[in-house]
Structure 1
Amino acid sequence: MIISQTPLRVSFFGGGTDFPAYFRAHGGAVLSAAIDKYVFVIVKERFDDDIYLNYSRKEIVASVDAIQHELVREAMRATGVTRGVEITTLADVPSTGTGLGSSSSVLVGLLHALHAYRGRLVTSAQLAEDACRIEIEALGRPIGRQDQYIAAYGDLRLIDFGPGDAVRVTRVEASGETRARLAERLMLFFTDRTRDASTILADQQHNIPNRLADLHRLKAQAHAGAERLLAGDLDGFGASLDVAWQTKKALASGVTDQGIDTLYARARAAGALGGKITGAGGGGFLMLYAPPFAQDAVRAAMRPLRELPVRFEVDGSKVIFNIRR
């Protein structure tokens, strides 16, 4: 039996600049952090040759080609696991539409567990690259590349993409105190809405030629955010989230709506310095930066939304259990 554990993530700056259509020509940058909420993938050998899948549904099939869960199907094809296996996926939060990068975390965790099942060690770079190839090229999803990399690498990272296909993943060497204080000041509230990000992302990708100035600003904000963390300027970091959110909203029509704007305005009036909808937008979690003295007021303003306490996760995807008979 193999069990992999892969973190979810929050993205601070630069979302949208990780589309190949942008970064191959201009270079992109995102600032993201893995959090202590996870996707678990369990892979177990079976006596028979059938393939058993357990997720929000159950599948029992005779061949990889018959699998309906496209991430499982493509991960099995990529790793050469073809029969006689049971695969279960579990998640700490809803696995779709939350804006925490769960789809890519599921895929990275699947690849990691299936490689381990075959007795292979893989690097974080290989996991991220294979996940990008599957989601973007094999499945044709209109997504960027940051989620796969932060799921594979973990920690607090500045990820530079391009020009061309180059990727540089840099750990943000902020002090332990700065990291702890930042985590304490982040507040995540579930909007009670999940959404299919593909429509928003497809619109965003279509708009790239008309939004180059906004994308250039978002890229610069990722580097500036990392510099603020290195300097320990947390309130400056929090306030810059608001600037980035105002820019992000211009990328596609579905990023926000009146309900989200009302929630965000209430949070700001209660003392939050900045924030954003996690992921592509349109629902999921509202992430806020609030100084400690303002957090009770922010919680009151967000009622009855559920809060998700989070801390940063240093590790990326890893195998936490590996016993083969």
Structure 2
Amino acid sequence: MIISRTPFRISFAGGGSDLPSFYRKETGAVLSTSIDKYMYIAIHPFFDRDKIQLKYARTELVDKVDKINHPIFREVLKMYGLTGVDLNSIADIPSGTGLGSSSSFTVGLLNAVRTYLGKASSGEKLGALACEVELDKVGSPIGKQDQYAAACGGLNFITFYGDETVNVEKIIMQPDKKRELDENLIMVYVGGEHSANAILRQQSAAISDQRKFEAQRNMVKLAYQLRECLENNKIDDFGRILHEGWLMKKSLTSGISTSVVDEVYERGIKAGALGGKLLGAGGAGFILFYCPGERQDEFRMKIGGMNEMRFHFDDFGSKIIYVGDLFKDI
């Protein structure tokens, strides 16, 4: 058996500029981090070597790859001509909550399958392959940031170019300031699930409007501002930048926020947070707040009743955490 562990991600600034409708006109940029909440993929030889068994939210048992219903499982196994395997997925957090779970699944699946076949995989390689699977083969109307964030791990500035290349740069901070940043971030669950594909289709279409394109361009500028303040170990403006980015993102399309999200966000700001944003494409999931340590007790008291999810930064990206004695059998 082989087991991969792939982190989920939080995007701080620049989201949406990883969509082709933007970066093919102007260079996109996102600042994000992976976190210590994970997708696990296990692969093992199946006792019937002519069949494939898949276990995720449902169970599939098929005798041909083309019969697989799950599009990512189907396209990855087809890509490598792989059969006679048993694949299982387990996640710390459900899908549709804004933490990039779909891409973490794709990256983790690729890492597990490639390791099963004895192929080496760098983070950048896994990110590029995951984009190929999700964007080109499955046809999902999504961007590229989640795949590279999950594959490479860490606190990164990710740039998207019109020639389809992607550059991942680590943000280097003083350890104590990075630890303070980690501790000042609070995530609360507002419930529900969103359809990221539907919202991203709307966002991609909206960017064709010049005013919306300008808003997206300003969101990219905020990503550069955020990189500068972090690299200079100045996190005082972090909340302000999150807040500005959230207001700009909401202006792109009505599906990004809801009355429930707006109400929770306002409660958080009144409770002492300096800024925040809804994570992911929008509509539901988790709201991230930036709240200085001295205000956090009051924040948690005033925001009482909300489901907080404790987390920390992840520095490693997708990893193989278990390799059993199976290579002699494949």
Q: TM-score range by the shorter chain?
A: over 0.9
Aligned to 2:169: 170
* Helix, strand or coil at the partner of 1:25: coil
For the residues of structure 2 that align with 1:21 and 1:177, how far apart are their CA atoms?
39
**Are positions 1:80 and 2:75 aligned together?**
no
Measured against aligned partners, the alpha-carbon deviations of 1:51-76 in whole angstroms (never above 9, x if no partner) come to 11111111111111111111111111
Aligned to 1:62: 63
Tell me if structure 2 keeps the 8 A contact 1:79–1:111: no
AA aligned to 1:23 is Y
Superposed counterparts of 1:97-116, under 5 Å: 97-116=96-115
For the residues of structure 2 that align with 1:254 and 1:115, how far apart are their CA atoms?
37
TM-score by length of 2: 0.96
Larger mean CA deviation between 55-64 and 153-162 belongs to 55-64
For the residues of structure 2 that align with 1:128 and 1:80, how far apart are their CA atoms?
20
Aligned to 2:242: 241
Superposed counterparts of 1:291-310, under 5 Å: 291-310=292-311
TM-score by length of 1: 0.97
* Helix, strand or coil at the partner of 2:282: coil
For the residues of structure 2 that align with 1:74 and 1:244, how far apart are their CA atoms?
35
Measured against aligned partners, the alpha-carbon deviations of 1:12-45 in whole angstroms (never above 9, x if no partner) come to 0000100112112200000000000100000000
Tell me if structure 2 keeps the 8 A contact 1:192–1:305: no
Aligned to 2:51: 50
For the residues of structure 1 that align with 2:270 and 2:323, how far apart are their CA atoms?
50
Tell me if structure 2 keeps the 8 A contact 1:235–1:273: no
For the residues of structure 1 that align with 2:306 and 2:75, how far apart are their CA atoms?
36
Measured against aligned partners, the alpha-carbon deviations of 1:251-287 in whole angstroms (never above 9, x if no partner) come to 1111101111111011001110000000101010010
Superposed counterparts of 1:125-140, under 5 Å: 125-140=124-139
Larger mean CA deviation between 28-37 and 238-247 belongs to 238-247
Aligned to 2:204: 205
AA aligned to 1:113 is A
Percent identity between matched residues is 40
AA aligned to 2:85 is V
Q: Indicate the RMSD between aligned Cα atoms, in angstroms.
A: 1.0
Using the TM superposition, give the Cα deviation of residue 47 of structure 1 relative to its aligned residue in structure 2, in angstroms.
2.2
Using the TM superposition, give the Cα deviation of residue 234 of structure 1 relative to its aligned residue in structure 2, in angstroms.
1.3
* Helix, strand or coil at the partner of 1:191: strand
Using the TM superposition, give the Cα deviation of residue 237 of structure 1 relative to its aligned residue in structure 2, in angstroms.
1.2
Aligned to 1:314: 315
Aligned to 1:31: 31
Measured against aligned partners, the alpha-carbon deviations of 1:196-237 in whole angstroms (never above 9, x if no partner) come to 111111100011121111111011111110111112221211
Tell me if structure 2 keeps the 8 A contact 1:25–1:164: no
For the residues of structure 2 that align with 1:305 and 1:208, how far apart are their CA atoms?
33
* Structure 1 runs of 4+ with >2 Å offset: 300-303
* Helix, strand or coil at the partner of 1:209: coil
Q: How many residues are matched?
A: 323
For the residues of structure 2 that align with 1:247 and 1:20, how far apart are their CA atoms?
19
Using the TM superposition, give the Cα deviation of residue 79 of structure 1 relative to its aligned residue in structure 2, in angstroms.
2.5
For the residues of structure 1 that align with 2:257 and 2:25, how far apart are their CA atoms?
28
